[in-house]
Structure 1
């Protein structure tokens, strides 16, 4: 809502706001059942005192245009005026509530909303700081790229052949054998998961994972009717996977959210187990190139000689999330199937972005950028680690980061709940609490050192410490 009441108008502020809200209802923008923002939020949006908003809501309630449900909020209600409107407009709230796609958790909705507020210290975000994005070099690259008219039209179903050929050579340097025909260009790693859920699994399938997991904070499989199941013992896979179609999701290198990395032996054991059970593996490897010492074990896909593994990569964590370029490597029938589905959903990823990423890989710009980026990330990680040693000894435990974006902080007491999240948000500090990755986890939070600057990181951690050490109310 960008509208603000006109302080120079002959109409009072509260009358202007009432008229504006009535117009939203009359035109069908706010349909029956629409929940209004809180009084505080409305006051912020309209830049007025809360008392003005209270006056507005009282008049709208008296006119039977809205109603307040205790403990739930204020809604556009089903009165005589709205009954007339209802005959002309669909009941969108009913359509929304009965749609198949699972909504985000409320905490994640708030994270998505406030991440774009420049006043907020983003202490948990999984996005590179604008200061780490190679903007000037990208601008120069755009001047150097020679585009053939066909290259900026629709891509072929699997994506730009030029980019797939460049990726084939790039992956080969990491012992990953993938011909261009076995590579599908996607709009980020999340789209790869969505395509897999639509094209390879039947409803009711099991998606196995180790908790905590990034998958619990997004819903590509749940929305498609799959059951996401966390397992601790291999026996769980052996018993249940015999009954239902299964697939296993893993982030073996610089895991999201914990930052841990599986050993080579652990990778071999996982691959062997899944082979014996005929369970395909989705290897999400978007952080692999951000290992500080560049010595992580090889990808599970590099050990795969039977087409067991679907490998997912991306430049969103290394080059720019806005380019929306990722890739999937798999057996050709799988890639052909998912390419067909992708063409039905978005008709191909950005042609310009594909040409740019191909140019960066072919010219060595990408490798040089990775070397520089790893050093910068390591400096930030060391800074956050030093602050934790200084301020959180005795309050929490954590492992020193070896790469990637995150430190998985475990507080000594289970206080990382919605209340703490909201208190920090009120102090303009945004965290990613552990319960969005595992619903029962109130000890952990995912700290990120890649977005906020050094001053903000220190300020955010000190605010966190102040709140967690404050006397209980």
Structure 2
């Protein structure tokens, strides 16, 4: 795989000429077809790590060659690749194809966040993954380098995933009170694929999904792109509020309710045992199936989380989802769905049609960690480290945010839900922080009407980054409050 092209700052060729050549090459070979809007001058300057004047010079020469043009309201657009003038018929308009795709694009802010997360210099104050320092990369390398068990294969696994892994997950879930035979477990390539399979296999176009508000689901389009509608239910300190569930279910003819009871994303809320029992009772009464997303459930700090909803499910009402992405490593891409066998059979059939099974190598690694006891030891370490990071972050908030915001104290997971005392214009704050290499996750990506929250994560940034980033963020919030 070719590496991303980089400037050679030691070359005799001027920097603007190298940039000109690289952009022209991308235009000429069809990577950037006619009609494509190229990145802004600021984004290009950041990408190539040069002054904006260097970018202006390179773009000026491309414009002089008739390859690009600045248009009001559209930015700078590719208008010619020279081949289009020579061809007897014009090339396909790939931009029309892009706009015609059924999968909705991410909202602009999410796209900015996704791009910024690739910048190693960025202080990522909202990133929902473990710090590289907390990932046991060397130990995982030993798993791959060590003696592989006789069960290991590089061939395709069964439609539901490795039987060996499903047997081990079945035993693992018993510790949570969830009784699931291997036949009722489907291995998926992360929780997001699980949601995709559910949207494709169990729901029809126009279905309605009830979700907590705010919700992580609002920041992705897995259900919306399948033609489905999300309807929010308010939360309090004990989790999703139950009063409106029945009414909203009947009003919208809701097909499912999606919930993250343990250390909710983005609020960090832990649903109480009583609330869980009430939620299960109401959904049973309303014949409303649930998707229980338990990816953070193992990350409690002082006392274990209450048993999952699935542990009390006697009627096959709950589709239970788990994952290794938040505990062992997102790069493994291994998760699971537990549900009634007919549902698992349906979803496994669709999975085979889309990717022919999750990585056999990753499945084997997860099985080895779960079966050997390494995973439980790792969890003890991660819980301890995350608790320290939480406490460090809370101390910074007490010192620098006491008069401008308030916040919850999470009992596990990754997130602190920071609420400003006064509403702010979130977009200017986000943009200004981004200019200063501080990446935020504003509340309006989880609830479009929210102008008062940030999702803070203590899981990813280093201690130094947390300190410098939060000190500067407090200054920025004060500046925006005064403007």
TM-score normalised by length of structure 1: 0.94
Three-state SS of the structure 1 residue aligned to 2:213 is coil
SS in 2 for 1:318: coil
Q: 2:203 aligns to what? A: 201
- 1:27-426 matches, within 5 Å, as 27-77=29-79, 82=84, 84=86, 87=89, 89-148=91-150, 151-232=153-234, 234-235=243-244, 237-241=246-250, 244=253, 246-415=255-424, 417-426=426-435
**Cα distance between partner residues in 2 of 1:218 and 1:35:** 23
In the other structure, the counterpart of 1:429 is 438
Counterparts of 1:76 and 1:298, CA distance in 2: 56
What does the per-residue CA deviation read over 1:297-341, in whole Å, with 9 as the maximum and x for residues that have no partner? 110011111100000001111111111110110000000000011
Equivalent-residue separation in structure 1 for 2:88 and 2:424 (angstroms): 45
> Which deviates more from structure 2 when the two are superposed, residues 37-46 or residues 236-245?
236-245
Q: Which moved more, 1:76-85 or 1:452-461?
A: 76-85
User: Cα gap change, 1:308/1:124 in structure 2, threshold over 3 Å: closer, same or farther?
Assistant: same
CA contact (8 A) 1:282 1:310 kept: yes
Contact 1:130 1:451 in 2 (8 A): yes
1:445 corresponds in structure 2 to 454
- Counterpart CA distance in 1 for 2:381 and 2:17 is 57
Structure 2 CA distance for aligned equivalents of residues 349 and 410 of structure 1: 39
Tell me the CA shift for residue 167 of structure 1.
0.6
Q: Judging changes above 3 Å, is the alpha-carbon distance between structure 1 residues 86 and 161 closer, same or farther for their aligned structure 2 residues?
A: farther
CA contact (8 A) 1:208 1:248 kept: yes
CA distance in structure 2 between the aligned counterparts of 1:43 and 1:455, rounded to whole angstroms: 26
Provide closer, same or farther for how the CA distance between residues 460 and 205 of structure 1 changes in structure 2, counting only shifts above 3 A.
same
CA distance in 1, matches of 2:296, 2:419: 22
Contact kept in structure 1, 2:292 and 2:309, CA below 8 Å: yes
Deviation at 1:453, TM superposition (A): 1.4
How far 1:238 moved relative to its partner?
3.0
8 Å CA contact retained: 2:168, 2:370: yes
Deviation at residue 160 of structure 1 after TM alignment = 0.6
Consecutive unaligned residues of structure 2, counting only runs of 5 or more, are 235-241
Deviation (angstroms), 1:264: 1.3
Q: Is the 8 A contact 1:26 1:85 kept in 2?
A: no
Q: 1:126 to 1:86 in 2, by over 3 A?
A: farther
Q: Is the 8 A contact 2:208 2:252 kept in 1?
A: no
Secondary structure of 1:230's counterpart equals strand
Determine helix, strand or coil for the equivalent of 2:199.
Answer: helix
* Larger CA deviation: 71-80 vs 197-206: 71-80
Distance 1:86 1:17 in 2: 30
CA shift in 2, pair 1:47/1:170, >3 Å = closer
CA contact (8 A) 1:28 1:89 kept: no
CA contact (8 A) 1:124 1:447 kept: yes
Distance 2:251 2:125 in 1: 42
Report the Cα distance in structure 2 between the residues aligned to 1:12 and 1:391, rounded to whole angstroms. Answer: 46
- SS of equivalent residue, structure 1 residue 238: helix
From the superposition, tell whether residues 120 and 242 of structure 1 become closer, same or farther in structure 2 (CA, over 3 Å). Answer: closer
Q: 2:472 aligned with 1:463, yes or no?
A: yes
Identify the residue that residue 2 of structure 1 maps to in structure 2. Answer: 5
Q: Is the CA contact 2:255–2:289 (under 8 Å) kept in the aligned structure 1?
A: yes
Question: Contact between 1:145 and 1:359, CA under 8 Å: does it hold in 2?
Answer: no
The Cα shift of 1:381 comes to 0.5
> For the structure 1 residues 63 and 255, does the alpha-carbon distance in structure 2 shift closer, same or farther, using more than 3 Å as the test?
same
- Does the C-alpha gap of structure 1 residues 145 and 245 become closer, same or farther in structure 2, counting only changes over 3 Å? farther
Q: Distance in 1 between matches of 2:388 and 2:358?
A: 34
Over residues 45-67 of structure 1, what are the superposed CA-to-partner deviations in whole Å (9 max), with x where a residue is unaligned? 44544334323333433443222
Q: Does 328-337 or 426-435 show the bigger shift?
A: 426-435
Q: Could you tell me how far apart the structure 1 residues matched to 2:135 and 2:265 are?
A: 21
C-alpha displacement at 1:236, in angstroms? Answer: 5.8
Q: 2-side partners of 1:464 and 1:38: how far apart? A: 25
Name the CA shift for 1:46/1:376 in 2 (closer, same or farther; >3 Å): closer
Residue 70 to residue 464, structure 1, CA distance change in 2 (3 Å): same
The count of corresponding residues between Structure 1 and Structure 2 is 472
Per-residue CA deviations over 1:230-259 (Å, capped at 9, x if unaligned) read: 134744643554664511100011000000
Separation in 1, partners of 2:464, 2:14: 43
Equivalent pair of 2:125/2:439 in contact (CA under 8 Å): yes
Q: 1:85 to 1:55 in 2, by over 3 A?
A: farther
Residues 121, 452 of structure 1: 8 Å contact kept: yes
Q: Is this contact kept in 1: 2:152–2:364, CA < 8 A?
A: no
**SS at 2:77's partner residue?**
strand
Partner secondary structure for residue 153 of structure 2: helix
Which sits farther off after the overlay, 137-146 or 297-306? Answer: 137-146
